[in-house]
Each structure stands twice: as structure tokens, then as C-alpha cells.
């Protein structure tokens, strides 16, 4: 079991020694190590069983750090960072040599993000290096949104979990890259496309290039629970699967049976985003054989929620 605590000083000292520490962010919990220390970063891949071709996001204390790690910082990128950092936005920028190749899986870009969580920002401010951190879950599984989620799956592999409470956003960051004058969204996440477009105009989407994924979060089967999941019209699915051991994950309406969860009784997409991974986990651990669910409205954070539902059902 990991030590779970709010004590930053322990996290600082472990990270300085090249150890792993799970950290809270506003999106999901991350599994962090000194991003400038290749050997420490290797431990992340080992603890997660993560393939080495899957690059890591580098977390920084503020926008001022970008120039230390990125060789170019375009005007579009600057405007996005100024507007949305700290926050659920990862920018893919050409990397400087100081970032070890293992962090970026040999790519020429590095994903940079300034997380919006008081404890983790305080931690970053006390360190003289940035933190490489993927989500703190075994590769391919649902991301953790509480310290307990991290402990349940990785507790025997990491010494320390910094407990910052449940994550406020609940979905991973939106990943944005740049190609010539185009702004390209590589992963839908906690910052809506509408918000990104309000600053840089129309973006392109590159969410599913399965032959050569720029971001393995694009792999169609990712973020997946072990149980079979079917998405559709819940009224019809409930009739079709009557008599089976089912769990239900609905958007607004409560279905009167056990193992039934509502993402947001008031129909709030923010609340649905906060709840989705926790509810999928509980259902995955429940005595059901099948999880029935439905899409949420496909705007704002709803697009990222639907993306995660689709990938969970693959």
C-alpha cells in the first residue's frame, strides 16, 4: 500500500530522489517523476505497464516555464496558454534537448501542461524540475479521479500518493497541436472545443488515426473497464437485456434497480464529467455482467464524455 497524505514535503523529497509520486490534478490523478531524469521516468512506464512508444505529458508550474522546455512557442499556443493555464489543456510544442527522449517516445514535440490544482502547483513550485506524469492507472484502464482509485490499482508499486481530494474536472486534458497555421485537437478532454475555438478559430480534429496514433489516447480501445459495455437507447436496451445481470449508467434519469448510476440528475455536463470515471469503476467492480449506458448531449464537455464512453465500449 502507498502512503496517502497531503504532505508536500514528503512528495518533494521522494521526487528529488528519483522516485514516483501520484499527484492530484483538476483532470485526473497523475503518476509523476522528475521529467528531466530518464531513469526516474523509466519507473513510470514500468509501474503502469505502459508501452515505451506512448509519450508522457510534462507538467510545469507556470506559463513562464514553457521556454525552458519548448524551442518554439507560437502565437496561437501563447494565446491558448494565457487564456487556459492553469487548466485542462496540453500543448504539443517542439521540444528542447533538455527533455529526455524517453519522455516524448522519441517524438520531436513535448506535451506541456500547467495543472490547476493548489497542492500540485505548490509542489511544482518547490521543485527545480518539471514532472512527467501520465494518468495514474494501469495502461488502457479508466483514469483515477481519487487517491483511493490510485491506491487500489497501483498501491503496491508506488511509495506515495499526494491526496488532493476528488478531481474537479474528471476528464483528462484536451491535447492541442499545431501544424503550419492549423490548430489540431488530438484528444478531446476537459477543455471544450468551443473554448479552444473561441481563442484560435476553427480547429481540425485528429482523434482516430489508429495506424499511427500521435496520441495513444486515440487508440480506439482505451479508457476501458473490463466489463462489456453497450451504448444506446436505455429504454430499449433494458427491455432487450431483461433478466440479465446488468448495471446502468444513465445521464439524467434514474432507473429503479440496483447498480444504477446517474451522471447528473440536473443534466449538467460538468457534473457528468466529474462522475463518469468513478461510476464506471464502481460498475466494473459490481456483480453485473453487462453495463448499459447512453450518450450525453454532444456539445461542450459532452463530446469528450461521449468519446470516453465510445472507447470504453470498444
| Site for Mg ion, residues 202 to 231, rule: CB under 5 A | none
146 binds ligand TXA (CB under 6 A): no
What phi, psi does 90 have (nearest 5°)? -110, 130
Beginning with the edge strand found earlier in the chain, give each strand of the sheet holding 260-262 in spatial order: 228-231, 290-293, 246-250, 260-262
Out of 2, 34, 76, 90, point to the residue binding ligand TXA (CB under 6 A): 90
104 binds ligand TXA (CB under 6 A): yes
Q: How far is the CB of 287 from ligand TXA (least distance, A)?
A: 29
Q: How far is the CB of 215 from Mg ion (least distance, A)?
A: 10
What phi, psi does 303 have (nearest 5°)? -65, -40
Beta-carbon contacts of residue 42 (< 8 Å; ≥ 6 apart): 102
Dihedral over alpha carbons 167, 168, 172, 178 (to 10 degrees) = -140
In the block, cell 497542492 appears at 119
| Site for ligand TXA, residues 192 to 231, rule: CB under 6 A | 214-217
| 3-state SS record for 107-153 | CCEEEEECCCCHHHHHHHHHCCCCEECCECCCCCCCCCCCHHHHHHH
The span of 14-22, 106-114, 147-155, 280-288 binding ligand TXA (CB under 6 A) equals 106-114
Partner whose binding site includes residue 24, from ligand TXA, Mg ion, none (CB under 5 to 8 Å by kind): none
Q: How far is the CB of 211 from Mg ion (least distance, A)?
A: 20
- C-alpha distances (whole Å) from 34 to each of 13, 138, 171, 194 are 11, 20, 24, 33
- Report helix, strand or coil for 307: helix
Q: How far is the CB of 243 from ligand TXA (least distance, A)?
A: 38
End-to-end CA distance of the chain: 31
Partner whose binding site includes residue 54, from Mg ion, ligand TXA, none (CB under 5 to 8 Å by kind): ligand TXA
Query: Measured from the CB atom, is 135 or 146 closer to Mg ion?
Result: 135
The span of 12-20, 105-113, 226-234, 270-278 binding ligand TXA (CB under 6 A) equals 105-113
The span of 85-93, 130-138, 177-185, 297-305 binding Mg ion (CB under 5 A) equals 130-138
Beta-carbon contacts of residue 229 (< 8 Å; ≥ 6 apart): 290, 291, 292, 293, 309, 312, 313
Interface with Mg ion: number of residues (CB under 5 A)? 1
Sequence-ordered strand ranges (E) for 198-245: 204-205, 228-231
Out of 11, 28, 40, 280, point to the residue binding ligand TXA (CB under 6 A): 28
Rg (CA), the chain: 19
Out of 135, 146, 174, 306, point to the residue binding Mg ion (CB under 5 A): 135
Q: How far is the CB of 40 from ligand TXA (least distance, A)?
A: 16
Partner whose binding site includes residue 107, from Mg ion, ligand TXA, none (CB under 5 to 8 Å by kind): ligand TXA
Query: Measured from the CB atom, is 218 or 274 closer to Mg ion?
Result: 218
- Report helix, strand or coil for 261: strand
54 binds ligand TXA (CB under 6 A): yes
Tell me how far apart the alpha carbons of residues 214 and 218 are, in angstroms, rounded to a whole number. Answer: 8
The span of 3-11, 78-86, 128-136, 154-162 binding Mg ion (CB under 5 A) equals 128-136
Positions that interact with ligand TXA (CB under 6 A): 25, 27-28, 30, 54-57, 88, 90, 92, 104, 107, 109-111, 113, 115, 133-135, 172-173, 175, 186, 214-217
Amino acid at each position: 500500500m502507498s502512503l496517502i497524505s497531503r504532505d508536500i514535503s514528503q512528495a518533494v523529497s521522494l521526487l528529488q530522489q528519483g522516485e514516483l509520486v501520484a499527484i492530484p490534478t483538476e483532470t485526473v490523478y497523475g503518476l509523476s517523476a522528475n521529467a528531466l531524469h530518464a531513469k526516474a521516468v523509466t519507473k513510470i512506464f514500468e509501474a503502469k505497464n505502459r508501452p515505451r512508444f506512448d509519450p508522457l505529458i510534462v507538467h510545469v508550474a507556470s506559463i513562464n516555464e514553457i521556454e525552458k522546455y519548448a524551442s518554439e512557442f507560437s502565437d496561437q499556443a501563447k494565446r491558448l496558454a494565457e487564456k487556459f493555464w492553469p487548466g485542462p489543456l496540453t500543448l504539443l510544442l517542439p521540444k528542447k534537448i533538455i527533455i529526455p527522449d524517453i519522455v516524448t517516445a522519441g517524438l520531436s514535440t513535448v506535451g506541456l501542461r500547467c495543472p490547476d490544482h493548489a497542492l500540485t502547483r505548490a509542489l511544482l513550485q518547490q521543485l527545480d524540475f518539471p514532472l512527467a506524469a501520465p494518468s495514474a492507472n494501469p495502461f488502457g484502464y479508466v483514469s483515477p479521479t481519487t487517491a483511493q482509485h490510485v491506491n487500489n490499482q497501483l498501491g503496491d508499486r508506488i511509495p506515495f500518493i499526494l491526496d488532493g481530494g476528488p478531481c474537479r474536472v474528471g476528464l483528462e486534458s484536451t491535447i492541442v497541436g499545431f501544424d503550419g497555421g492549423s490548430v489540431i485537437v488530438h484528444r478531446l478532454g476537459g477543455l471544450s472545443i468551443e473554448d479552444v475555438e473561441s481563442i484560435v478559430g476553427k480547429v481540425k480534429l485528429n482523434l482516430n488515426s489508429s495506424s499511427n496514433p500521435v496520441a495513444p489516447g486515440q487508440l480506439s480501445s482505451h479508457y476501458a473497464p473490463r466489463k462489456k459495455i453497450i451504448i444506446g437507447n436505455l429504454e430499449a436496451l433494458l427491455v432487450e437485456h431483461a433478466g440479465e445481470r446488468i448495471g446502468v449508467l444513465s445521464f439524467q434519469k434514474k432507473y429503479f434497480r440496483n447498480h444504477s448510476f446517474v451522471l447528473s440528475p440536473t443534466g449538467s455536463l460538468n457534473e457528468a464529467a466529474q462522475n463518469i470515471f468513478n461510476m464506471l469503476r464502481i460498475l466494473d467492480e459490481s456483480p453485473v455482467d453487462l453495463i448499459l449506458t447512453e450518450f450525453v448531449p454532444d456539445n461542450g464537455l459532452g463530446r469528450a464524455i461521449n468519446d470516453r464512453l465510445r472507447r470504453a465500449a470498444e
